[in-house]
Amino acid sequence: MFPAGAPSSSAADGADDEDARLAEFGYTQKLDRSVGPLASFAIGFATISATTAVFTGFGAGYTSAGAPFVWTLLIAGAVFAVWAAIAADLAAKIPLAGYAYQWTSRINGPTLGWFTGSIALVGWICGMTGVGYVLSGYLGGLFGWDMSQAAQILLAIGVVAVCVLINIYGVRFATMVNNIGVSLELAVTIGATILVGVLAFSAPDRHQPLSVLFTAGGSGEEGSYAIAWLAAALGPFFGLLGVESCADVAEETKNSRRVIPRTMFYALASSIVIELLMYIVYVLAIRDSDAVLARPSAPIEEIITQQAGPVVTKIVVAVALTNILACLLANILVATRLTYSMARDNMLPFSRVWRHVSPTSLTPTNAVIGLGCLSTMLLLSALINETAFTYIIGIASLAFFTVFILQTIGLIIGARRGTIPAGDPGTFDLGRLRMPLYVVSLAVFLVVAAVLIVLPQFAGNGWVFLGVLVVAAAWWAFGLRGRLRRRVAGAGVVRDDQAT
């Protein structure tokens, strides 16, 4: 049996009529279904953002564990390959916006769906806030501005506002800008990496030996190097977050049940290859290790300057800005579709406001504006308390892995109860690999979440995250539970003409 609102596979007869399939789930097509395979890939690739991951994670990894930190990416890649397979399986069966909420709601019911969706929403809001802050820092560096933290935060607010306006204009324009950013990343950033590699290996004294990739280094002492190496793995792990994000625009993707699973794997595979190439090239291209260690916030710029000079560095950083901009646009796009999906089911306070779709742009404009305001409030909180931004970044990471844990637990229960829908012929399906993958991924996600709580650099995250859970539980107990009991909330139950 399937839960209420989940169609059987025979209903669609393998047809590609996504609007009809959406109606079977209980919804009317309102968003602009204009996203093709290339744009779907670009959303996933931009959310991962290989360039952003390397530019922001290289310093911490190299400082902690030296050159061998690059191999931690292979561990992260294996973990996210498992997660991508799980997400692709679900995207082919439940092609709905707001996947973090919808998948769990359809398989396990609205209560677990609420907690999974709300925690995911916190993660995306903190994530877009963090990316906005990073982008503002690179802007300042590109133009040589000597910015205080307050100035960088105010610039980040402006950056977020611009991206909000782009998303309000419509998904076609947002994906067009996103496609341009991804194209530049694939062309110019990879080209610059190859250039640096060619210059580095043009003479023996211009690069480090290959042996450094297998030689312990960094700040880890001999007896604790394994711990330092594993801690350095957190950067590559965070660098692959969002591989499943293209599923959040399923209701705007053509032939989504077949396109989205493929683009997930394409985005992940290309990101792993590009990130590994960049990590290895930039490690070997270091000519002055002390100078790189002295600039932990901008090590890539230092390495490029050592090899190609400041002019090339400026060009590469300018292109990197477009990549980070694309990452921010994709984060906002995904977060607002999750908000829209939950509000459409009357799961949020003031759901009527957040589920509004503009009749001209076919975009959930109120959700875009609302999340932009929340991101601005988080940035302003960092003006009052300088440690707030550290919590914002930490909570984003912890929230994502908590969502993975909740979803995987729900899937294990769903597999045993038989509530996971059957797929349509010709779509991606895990088959007998389903349960083994669930068990392996749950164990890994629990370990990563535990690290995010116990490691000293993440101290305090657990208490802040507990506060998030308390707020989510309070709304469930005093607001949402009554709606669910009256059957005016939940997956496939609410219609736009019902009261909030």
**What would the pLDDT profile of 241-271 be if each residue is shown by its tens digit?**
888 888 988 998 999 999 999 999 999 999 9
Domain 31-421+431-489 has CATH 1.20.1740.10: yes
Which tokens sit at 367?
């959700």
Between residues 294 and 210, which one has the greater pLDDT?
210
The answer for 419, left when phi > 0, alpha when psi is -120 to 50, beta otherwise, is alpha
> pTM of the entire structure?
0.85
| pLDDT band at residue 146 under the 50/70/90 scheme | confident
Retrieve residue 28's tokens.
């009317």
The band of 496, judged by pLDDT with boundaries at 50, 70 and 90, is very low
* pLDDT tens figures, 398-443: 888 899 999 999 999 999 999 999 888 889 999 999 999 999 999 9
Exposed, middle or buried: residue 443 (CB in 10 Å: 0-12, 13-18, 19+)?
exposed
* Band of pLDDT at residue 386, cut at 50, 70 and 90: low
- Per-residue DSSP letters for 393-456? HHHHHHHHHHHHHHHHHHHHHHHHHT-SPPPPTTS---GGGHHHHHHHHHHHHHHHHHHHHHSG
Please give the DSSP secondary-structure letter assigned to residue 98. Answer: S
Res 282: pLDDT: 94
The mean per-residue pLDDT over the stretch 348-354 comes to 94
Distances (CA, A) of 151 to 145, 321, 497: 10, 18, 45
pLDDT of residue 173: 75
Task: Using pLDDT thresholds of 50, 70 and 90, give the confidence band for residue 273.
Answer: very high
Residue 42 has pLDDT above 50, yes or no: yes
Tell me the percentage of the chain whose pLDDT exceeds 90: 41
Pick from 471, 401, 453: nearest CA to 127: 401
Q: The tokens of 399 are what?
A: 């929230």
- 226 pLDDT band, cuts 50/70/90, is confident
226, 130, 119, 134: which is closest to 449 by C-alpha?
119
